[in-house]
Amino acid sequence: MNYNNLAKAEAIPEASSMIETFRAIGYNLETAIADIIDNSISAQAKNIYINRIWQGGKSVITIKDDGEGMNSEEIIQAMRPGAQNPLTDRLETDLGRFGLGLKTASFSQCRKLTVLSKRKKETPAFWSWDLDYVAQSHKWELLQWIPEEFTHELDSQLSGTLVVWSDLDRILPLQTAETDDNAKRKFSDALDKVKNHIAMVFHRFIEEKSIKIFWCGHEIEAWNPFCINESKTQEQSTDTINGGVKMKGYVLPHKNNFSTEQAYKKAEGIKGYPAMQGFYVYRGKRLLLAGDWLGLFRPEEHYKLVRIQIDLPNSLDSDWQIDIKKSKAYPPAVCREQLESYAKSVRSKGTEVYRHIGKILKQRAGQTFQPLWLEKKKDSKWSFVINREHLMIQDLKNLAKEKPEQAIETLLKFLEEAIPTKTIYINEAQGEETQKTPFSDMDTNILKSTLAIMFENQIKQGKTPEQAKAYLKTIEPFNNFEDLIEDLQ
Ligand SMILES: Nc1ncnc2c1ncn2[C@@H]1O[C@H](COP(=O)(O)OP(=O)(O)O)[C@@H](O)[C@H]1O
Ligand SMILES: [Mg+2]
C-alpha cells in the first residue's frame, strides 16, 4: 500500500481515559507486585525488598531492588506505556513482555507511581505518574516528584531502583484514618497473601539462591509445588514437545505418606489441594500459571495430587498467548494433543495414589489382597460384583446353616461398610465409560423365581392377585420388571 498520497489525521489516545483503562486490566495485588519483581530480576537484582508502611489512607507499598538501575532518561522511557515492542526478541532471562507491566500493574493498585533509580556512579533520579494530574491536565506528562521520606532511599546503594505506590485507592479508601484498626488488619492480610504468592511464583530463583526477596525485612522461603523433598513423591519422566516445551509430571504422596502433617498442609498451597492440581507453566524460571488444566480437563477431587511442570522458552510467548498480567496462557493447537496425552498418563497414576488401593495389604507376605467388591468391565461398561470367593462369604454360608438371621445381617452389614464409593465416584467423574444399567444382563429365571416366591407369600397373607402385583411393583428392583409381574399366576 502506498501511504504517501493519502490524507492523514492524528488520533492520539486521550491521556486520562486511556490511563483509566490501564487500571482495568485485571491485576490483583499479588500479580501486580509479582510483575514489579519481574522487572527487578530482569535488571539483575540480587536482593528485592517489599515493604508496606501503614499510614491509613496515606499508606504506601514500596518495592526496592539492587539491580542495574536507570538514569533519568531511562526512567522516563520506562514510564512510557508500551516502552518496548512485544514483538522484539527478548533475552532469555528477560521477564518483561509488552513494555506495560510497570504502569499497568502499578495503576491497578494506586493513583501515584514513583520510580527512583540510580545507575552505578551516577546520582539518583526520579519521576512520577500521578493519575490526578493526568485527569486534570489531559496530558501524558510525568512529574518530577517523590514522597519526601524516600528521597535518600538509594543513597547507600551502588545502584538500584525503588518503586513507590501511594494513594492505594484499590486497596483501601483514601480517607481511611490511621487509627482504623479494622482497615489496618485488612491491609496487612491482603499483603500476607502476596507473600505466599511470591514464595510460589519465584520459588526457583529463591531455591537456586540467585535472588533473595525480603518481606518487611523477613526473607521469603520458596514454596515448591512438586514436593521434591518428599520421598514418596512420584516423579514422572520428562517429555519434550514442539519447539522445546518441556513437561514433567509429579504425583504428590497420599496424605498418609507425607513425612509430616505440616508438610502435607504446607504442600496444599494458596488455594488448597483441589484447586492446585494441573499444569504449572514456567517461562524461564518464573511461574506464570499455577494449577490450571489449560482447558484440557476439568479439575476433579481425585486428581488433586497431580501437578505437571511445563517449561516454555520465552521465544514461545506469542504462540502460547501469554497475557499482559502473565497469569493466563493458551497452548497452541499443535501442543494440545501432546499435553493431553502426557497429562492423561500422569493423571491415571494420580488416581491410583488418591485411591490408595490396598497397597499395604498387597505387599504383605506375598498374600493377595481380597476385596469384598470386585470391579467388572464389559463392553466399556463398568459394574461391581461381590467377590464370592471372599473368605468371609464362605464362612457366612456355613454360619447360615445354623443361624441364618445372624448370617444375613452380618453379610448386609459388611456389604454396606465396604461399598467402593471412591472408585464409583472416580469412574463416574471420568465419564469415559458408563455404568452398566442395573439388571441389564441378569438371568431372568432368577428374577422370575424370586418374584414367584414373593407373590405366593403375599397371596398367603390374604392379598388378592391384583393387590399382590401392585405391591410388588413398588419394590426395588422389581419395579423395573412390570411385565414379569403381570405374567405372575
Ligand atoms: N526495577 C527496574 N530496574 C531497571 N529497569 C527497570 C526496572 N523496572 C522497569 N525497568 C525498565 O522499564 C522497562 C519497562 O518496564 P515494564 O513496563 O514492566 O515493561 P517490560 O517489563 O515488559 O519491558 C523495562 O523494560 C526496563 O527497561
Ligand atoms: Mg515488566
Mean pLDDT by 10 residues, the chain (489 residues): 91 88 89 95 96 96 98 95 64 66 94 98 97 94 97 97 97 96 94 94 97 96 96 94 89 93 95 95 91 91 94 77 74 89 93 68 58 81 85 87 91 88 79 74 83 92 92 86 87
Q: Is 36 in the pocket of ligand 1 (CB under 6 A)?
A: no
Pick the residue whose CA is nearest to atom 27 on ligand 1.
78
For residue 97, give the ligand 1 atom closest to its CA.
22
- Closest to 101 measured CA to CA, from 113, 91, 93: 113
Please give the Cα distance from 435 to 268 (Å, whole number).
32
Predicted local distance difference test score (pLDDT) of residue 464: 93
d(CA 235, CA 307): 10
User: DSSP state, 55?
Assistant: B
Nearest CA to ligand 1 atom 21: 96
Ramachandran class of 384: left when φ > 0, alpha when ψ lies in -120 to 50, beta otherwise: beta
Note the pLDDT of residue 84: 64
Given this model, what pLDDT does residue 328 score?
76
Question: Which pLDDT belongs to residue 391?
Answer: 81
Q: How far is the CA of 226 from the centre of ligand 2 (A)?
A: 27
pLDDT, residue 355, reads: 78
Q: How far apart, in Å, are the Cα atoms of 454 and each of 71, 191, 329, 409?
A: 95, 70, 63, 20
The Cα 473–Cα 480 span in angstroms is: 8
Spatial strand order in the sheet of 160-166: 125-130, 112-118, 160-166, 60-65, 47-53, 212-215, 218-219
Q: How far apart are CA 309 and CA 112, in angstroms?
A: 37
**How many Å lie between the centroid of ligand 1 and the Cα of residue 326?**
15
- Contact (CB, 8 A) for 486 and 469: yes
pLDDT at residue 137, rounded to an integer: 94
- Give the per-residue pLDDT at 186: 94
Give the pLDDT score at 362. 46
289 lines ligand 1 (CB under 6 A): no
Measuring from atom 6 of ligand 1, which residue has the nearest CA? 39
Task: Report the side by side order of strands in the sheet with 381-386.
Answer: 373-378, 381-386, 434-435
Write out the three cell numbers for 353: 495414589
Reading phi first (left if > 0) and then psi (alpha if -120 to 50, else beta), residue 212 is in beta
Dist CA 111 CA 480 (whole Å): 69
Q: Whose CA is nearest to atom 8 of ligand 1?
A: 39
What the block records as the C-alpha cell of 443 is 438371568
371 cis-preceded (ω within 30 degrees of 0): no
End-to-end Cα, the chain, rounded Å: 92
CA 24 to chain centre: 23
Q: Residue 79 belongs to what H/E stretch?
A: helix 72-79
Nearest-ligand number for the alpha carbon of 38? 2
CA of 45 to the centre of ligand 1 (A): 12
Closest ligand 1 atom to 98 CA: 22
278 lines ligand 1 (CB under 6 A): no
Q: Which pLDDT value is given to residue 317? A: 66
Q: Does the beta carbon of 98 sit less than 6 angstroms from any atom of ligand 1?
A: yes
**Mutation test residue for ligand 1: of 71, 102, 117, the one with most atoms within 8 Å of CB:** 102
99 lines ligand 1 (CB under 6 A): yes
| 244-272 residue pLDDT tens | 899 999 999 998 899 999 999 999 999 99
Set of cell numbers at residue 263: 508438610
Nearest 5°: the CA angle 235, 240, 246 is 65
Report the alpha-carbon distance of residue 200 to residue 388 in Å, rounded: 51
Task: Give the Cα separation of 396 and 413 in Å (integer).
Answer: 12
For position 361, what pLDDT does the model report?
Answer: 43
Residues 60, 61, 67, 70: is their CA dihedral positive or negative? Answer: negative
Give me the long-range contacts of 392-399 (CB less than 8 A, separation at least 24). none
Cell numbers standing for residue 473? 411393583
285 within ligand 1 shell (Cβ under 6 A): no
CA of 130 to the centre of ligand 2 (A): 19
